[in-house]
Structure 1
Amino acid sequence: MTAVALAVTDGMLHFEMALALEVFGSDLRHIADPWYELSLCGPAAVSAGRFRLEPDAGLDFLPRAHTVIVPGWADTAAAPPAELVDAVRAAHRAGARIVSLCTGAYVLAAAGVLDGLRATTHWAHAADLAARHPRVTVDPDVLFVDNGSVLTSAGKAAAMDLCLHLVRLDRGSAAANALARRLVVPPQREGGQAQFVTTPLPEPGSHPLAALFPWALQRLDRPLGVEDLARRAAMSSRQLTRHFRAVTGTTPLQWLHTQRIRRAQALLETTDDTVDVIAAATGMGTATTLRRHFQRTVGVPPDTYRRTFRLRRADLTAPF
């Protein structure tokens, strides 16, 4: 079971904290067994908005956790609590995976955990974070940034995107998708997607691409292109591209590519299918093509990804 420490102090933002509690503190063994073992860690009883919380453990527990999550807090003008900063720094040195949600990035930056790394936070605070911590490369536009052992998210809904990303890394695509269905949220928003879309989205049910997405996902094994999608959506290629940009933040071809890679990841995680079979199932055609695109997108070859994922699963089930 994976030990997760949720670090809390007075003034934490209760929305981001509640997201982490829901994802990592619920009994979701019906989705993946084992799930996570969450400890609420703080110096004493803490206030988060109108709520009072009694921590399960002190901040000295953080270095013993596999993953440490730091939610944001309201008063970003004040320096983060020194004891929290020290505990996060100690956890990082001990090898824990460090995660911030929203303005929790201020704590990570103060601890030196983000020095030399790219990071994000809520777009409204990005300029201030960058000015106060010049050794951190702050990206104000993305939903989250994954540096491997250090991850940061933008605010509010983006915090859920990062939580789902962690579940996908730890428990696989099927578990992340099942959790997203349970929470009634999108399972596949990429970290590099923009934090907000300037064009308002249509109301659910009236969306011009609502029927296109599931249709395309059922046909990833076929050589779909922009013209195929446009014909199905009964619009021109230019109209289709414009709608895709507004809804997904990317192009139709890039969206298709992402879905094919995700399908390949899921098959590598959950089946013993050969790379040739997976290439055919994802519309990549040949194993050579799949390996090239998978390496470029994920950073490792398919065989390495499968081996690494299975090793990670074995490691995560070990007691801490």
Structure 2
Amino acid sequence: MPVVALLVLDGVPGHQLTTPGLVLDAAACVHRPARAELRICAGPGFRATAGPLPLDIAAPWGLEGLADADTVVLAGHDGFLAEPPAAVLDAVRAAAARGCRVAAVGTGAFTLAATGLLDGHRATTEWHHTAELAARHPRIEVDPAGAVVTDGPFPTSAGVFGGIDLFLHLVGLDHGPSVAGRTARRLIAPVYEDAGATREEIDRELAETAGLEPTMRWLESDLRHSPTHAEIAAHARTSPRSLARRFLRQTGLTPRQYLLRARLERARHLLETEDATIDEIASRTGFGSPASFRRHFHRLTGTTPRAYRASHRR
């Protein structure tokens, strides 16, 4: 079972402690292979959550919990403008050095930036702190409007609703956009009911989203085919504008981005299970050329196809 280690420092927002478990549990409910172990790991000096009503909390793990994690997520905290403890920086760098994915929620991007790992990469943080992040770390390309930005193995997010944006994105990276969309619906649908929406409104909303499933399967059926946006809309029997809105609502991606992720997931499966050459996999998954395949694969996973195969074959 993959391990997700949430690293928290003193003054972490309380909802950033609870949101990861909610998302990962929902993901496991809709897709059993998405089950993961969540560790809450406290950095030096951790005592309580942020105000206005701080809660004293004892975390079950310390920095040792990062040692064998598959993903490390740095939460935000009150003292994000101060230099993080040296032990925290060393533990995060060590995790990255062994190939661990390292992500950050909201102002946790400042902690990740302090390690130097984000230098030369794109990143984001809470929107009203993006200018500060750019000023303090000029070697980082800060996206002032990005909700979630992934550049190599370092996803960062604005921290919407305690990091739900980031954790849904991680679910999508690991298990595909369809699982992320189903997870989001499982989390959000009860909110609509509590807000007073009628059963008919909810059913209509879910029916519209489910109506994309045949088109999503069609896109996945022949990854070497590159349909235009208009052709995808025609298959879904909707307008191009409505197609984009519905895809974004269900998967968090545009149709073209969904196709790219589907190609990536298929390529990852082939790398793990078959002995086909990199060039053959690039052709079979519709990347156009081996160079394009390597470029997209590295951008979305932070590693090369050859290194990915070697790691997963072990």
Q: With structure 1 as the length reference, what TM-score do the two structures score?
A: 0.64
Matched, 1:47 2:49: yes
Q: Give 5+ residue unaligned stretches, structure 1.
A: 187-201, 316-320
Match of 1:265? 267
Q: Supply the distance in 1 between the matched residues of 2:203 and 2:139 (Cα, whole angstroms).
A: 42
| Partner SS for 1:6 | strand
Contact persistence 2:47–2:56 (CA under 8 A): yes
Match of 1:38? 39
Q: Supply the distance in 2 between the matched residues of 1:177 and 1:100 (Cα, whole angstroms).
A: 23
Match of 1:14? 14
Please list the CA deviations of residues 16-69 of structure 1 after superposition, one character each: whole Å capped at 9, or x if unmatched.
33233445699969934984362432434322454432112344x366354432
| Partner SS for 1:47 | coil
Contact persistence 2:3–2:39 (CA under 8 A): yes
Q: Supply the distance in 2 between the matched residues of 1:272 and 1:113 (Cα, whole angstroms).
A: 33
Q: Supply the distance in 2 between the matched residues of 1:208 and 1:33 (Cα, whole angstroms).
A: 24
Against the structure 1 CA distance between its residues 117 and 267, is the aligned structure 2 distance closer, same or farther, given a 3 Å change threshold? Answer: closer
Match of 1:146? 150
Matched, 1:108 2:118: no
Match of 1:205? 204
Q: Supply the distance in 2 between the matched residues of 1:64 and 1:255 (Cα, whole angstroms).
A: 33
How far residue 264 of structure 1 moved from its aligned partner, in angstroms, is 2.4
Matched, 1:228 2:228: no
Against the structure 1 CA distance between its residues 179 and 152, is the aligned structure 2 distance closer, same or farther, given a 3 Å change threshold? Answer: closer
Percent identity, aligned pairs only, is 29
Q: Supply the distance in 2 between the matched residues of 1:156 and 1:144 (Cα, whole angstroms).
A: 9
Of stretches 156-165 and 145-154 in structure 1, the one that deviates more from structure 2 is 156-165
Q: With structure 2 as the length reference, what TM-score do the two structures score?
A: 0.65
| Partner SS for 1:69 | strand
How far residue 293 of structure 1 moved from its aligned partner, in angstroms, is 5.1
Contact persistence 2:75–2:107 (CA under 8 A): yes
Q: Supply the distance in 2 between the matched residues of 1:250 and 1:63 (Cα, whole angstroms).
A: 30
Q: 1:79 aligns with which of 64, 78, 81?
A: 81
Aligned AA for 2:113? A
How far residue 105 of structure 1 moved from its aligned partner, in angstroms, is 1.0
Against the structure 1 CA distance between its residues 87 and 271, is the aligned structure 2 distance closer, same or farther, given a 3 Å change threshold? Answer: same
Aligned AA for 1:114? L
How far residue 206 of structure 1 moved from its aligned partner, in angstroms, is 5.1
Against the structure 1 CA distance between its residues 22 and 48, is the aligned structure 2 distance closer, same or farther, given a 3 Å change threshold? Answer: farther
Contact persistence 2:130–2:142 (CA under 8 A): yes
How far residue 138 of structure 1 moved from its aligned partner, in angstroms, is 1.0
Match of 1:162? 166
Q: 1:56 aligns with which of 33, 39, 60?
A: 60
Contact persistence 1:153–1:159 (CA under 8 A): yes
How far residue 298 of structure 1 moved from its aligned partner, in angstroms, is 2.0
Contact persistence 1:142–1:154 (CA under 8 A): yes
Against the structure 1 CA distance between its residues 37 and 155, is the aligned structure 2 distance closer, same or farther, given a 3 Å change threshold? Answer: closer
Q: Supply the distance in 1 between the matched residues of 2:129 and 2:137 (Cα, whole angstroms).
A: 12
Q: Supply the distance in 1 between the matched residues of 2:171 and 2:24 (Cα, whole angstroms).
A: 9
Q: Supply the distance in 1 between the matched residues of 2:144 and 2:32 (Cα, whole angstroms).
A: 33
Of stretches 114-123 and 144-153 in structure 1, the one that deviates more from structure 2 is 144-153
| Partner SS for 2:72 | strand
Q: Supply the distance in 2 between the matched residues of 1:137 and 1:279 (Cα, whole angstroms).
A: 32
In proportion to residue count, which structure has more helix? Answer: 2
Against the structure 1 CA distance between its residues 25 and 313, is the aligned structure 2 distance closer, same or farther, given a 3 Å change threshold? Answer: farther
Aligned AA for 1:173? H
Q: Give 5+ residue unaligned stretches, structure 2.
A: 188-200
Aligned AA for 1:89? L
Aligned AA for 2:240? L
Q: Supply the distance in 2 between the matched residues of 1:119 and 1:183 (Cα, whole angstroms).
A: 23
Against the structure 1 CA distance between its residues 94 and 23, is the aligned structure 2 distance closer, same or farther, given a 3 Å change threshold? Answer: same
Q: Supply the distance in 1 between the matched residues of 2:266 and 2:28 (Cα, whole angstroms).
A: 25
Q: Supply the distance in 2 between the matched residues of 1:271 and 1:68 (Cα, whole angstroms).
A: 26
Taking only aligned residues, the RMSD between alpha carbons, in angstroms, comes to: 4.6
How far residue 121 of structure 1 moved from its aligned partner, in angstroms, is 0.9
Q: Supply the distance in 1 between the matched residues of 2:209 and 2:172 (Cα, whole angstroms).
A: 24
How far residue 207 of structure 1 moved from its aligned partner, in angstroms, is 8.9
Q: 2:129 aligns with which of 125, 130, 141?
A: 125
